Chain A
């Protein structure tokens, strides 16, 4: 009897561990399948393209994961990305002109870019601040707040851009930001934009795993009430997660615009919205939908996995429809799995341990 219990306990632990690192298992499975069907997928060039397309989602996913760990959703990231993009481009053009344009030389360029980034990030921080205020302080549900913000910021983006796409008047930065540091095949992914994303992921993962702030955030997301009674400032924690999300969404959009050398006010309105992509990656990456657990690194890995599936489908000559379908199926499966385990947990609520032992014996007898 005792041995049996121990066995089932071990099995449970193994199952839990496997579920914790499900994204790495998923990554291996996806790569093995792709390698078996379409080995050409793993050329240096397509890996670089794959990573490069994923970067925006990886960056935005950092803040999104933080918000979700804290027990909320930030649905406004789609608009913040666009705001970051158009503001970067628009403000660059404005400042570049002020600093004298081509006559201003390199210093005008650098100054204009720095100010443009600062403006874009400022906008993101501000939006995050307002989201956080309404959710954490005023205690409005995060769905309502951030959906409202999604539309409001979309309105701002259209007004700012007059509904047009904005291009920078010079190609100065696009040549730099996606240019690899190393010229060795497969290491060509090391572009400045990639390095920025990696630094963000590592720093924010470090905060989660190594600092008291991170521990407290997990606690808040896991059980807000007991955190409050333990003396953790839950309002401040939740508020800050939204500010971080505003920051990473604006930065992601900003860098994306620079690498395209253009910003459109409606990126993601056709096809798979960035919000859906990041949401899928975060959930598949193992962040609990109700908060309290999660990892920035795993979100990033999940982003690569999903993007690999998309690229693979394109390589196989399948269209956009198949991508949307694949994303839907994967997300649906994971959400189902998560909800089902919550449901199973609910069935056991109120069980009497003494009777559970007895029930086991009754079942054995049968």
Chain B
């Protein structure tokens, strides 16, 4: 099916989110929609899927005009969508989730689970999705859950599949698997709209690339375009994809972790006997596939989780029993991996979030009274310094794009003098322009003599920033290596050394 978009426009008040967008997606084509966060990609797709009503323009399916008042209409017309946030019922099985809304019954309203299971198995085999129809969705890893979403769309006979930032939540392995699934779908004639801001992925799988900036199509190009060309189209200026940094000027050991063990919420050991140290003025990267204990490790470092055993020493003092507040006061900066969950209070203003862990300092309060003037002055300064794009300091943080939300967190954590900075996934879901900026700031912090720990599942990021790389697998640090190591070698370490123990397969 050919999908053509002509002059599609959507305005929110005075703000034009989509301005006369033209786009043609041919059958069996993977069409990448590239743009920064807030460029208008999701708005466009929500109009296509019947979630938003366009103010102008039209959608043509095989040359015939079509309007979608509801997602139901869009599904009917053969459009499927996999959202960033999955729409699955966790306590249902895969088959049940796929039946949802179009339950097949055998007389008397008895659900026909068997036929749903068969359908899942068939589709799963055809596209090599490897999904067990009887598994509970809540037990599945994120990557498989995403495949269930894809199955749901396929079960509805989708001919055009919209994938909204599908790789944001995936591990490198899962991304590879997704790519091969997309490839087999393409071979079968399904068109795919692939929304992303990751240049590497676009080049790897795309047939055609359309770049959107500030609600307008800035151009359509081929995947042969270079990454820097693409980045320039996206951001509207030249972007440095490699971080400029000098060799580390390493000082004393700032943070020393010895035999740290953490028991997780479900009673399993998630961090096993981990030891490492970070010195002032260096960046230690912690690489690893998501879910190998990094999350719990950094939480233990801040004091959000009590370690079961081991010692954490900050400049020689034991801080393993400290509360988060004590750790923060001692000079640890903390950028959590999930900014909207742990980093910001979404309904709070930018001004308030910028002092979320500083409000008790004399600078911002006297006794019980907050010093609003000081908070505003701080906000004005940080917004300017970190180029946070917001209507005003009083806008709520949830109204900002992901990159700007992350800049709020980074700005806050870097606005006091630190001994150690712990940054977990500092650029996850952040656009290219902001990534460049955040990386620059982290390196600058290192150069001020702060010890920095970066946890990332993105190898690009690890290589770009780290002075040393620790690789985590199954709760252990399997090795600490130099950044001159080959990409393949580190991939092997991340998979448990031999590359055989592939997770969740």
Do these two chains really belong together in a complex?
no
* Chain B interface (Cβ < 8 Å from any Cβ of A): none
